[in-house]
Amino acid sequence: MSKSHASLRAIAPEYRSRFEAARQKLLARGWKVTRTGYDHGLYYVEKGNKEIICSVWDVIERGEALP
């Protein structure tokens, strides 16, 4: 288990599934999740040589924040 997934257990259970759902959407779009900021609700993702920071809530609720 990666360090980021280990910290996922520390957040409230009702948010765990949301974070994982957002992670799966990112992976399905071809993004690699490089870091996770659970305390701020952020994912750091990269594709090719491009790295961006996106809000978990934008990915889940609106499917936004990704090119």
Phi, psi of 5 (to 5 degrees): -75, -30
- Specify the pLDDT at position 13: 78
pTM (whole model) above 0.85: no
Q: Is the pLDDT of residue 15 over 50?
A: yes
* 41 conformational bin, left if phi > 0, alpha if psi -120 to 50, beta if neither: left
What digits encode the pLDDT tens for the residues 21-67? 888 888 888 888 888 777 677 888 888 888 888 887 777 776 655 55
Burial zone of 40 (CB within 10 Å; 0-12 exposed, 13-18 middle, 19+ buried): exposed
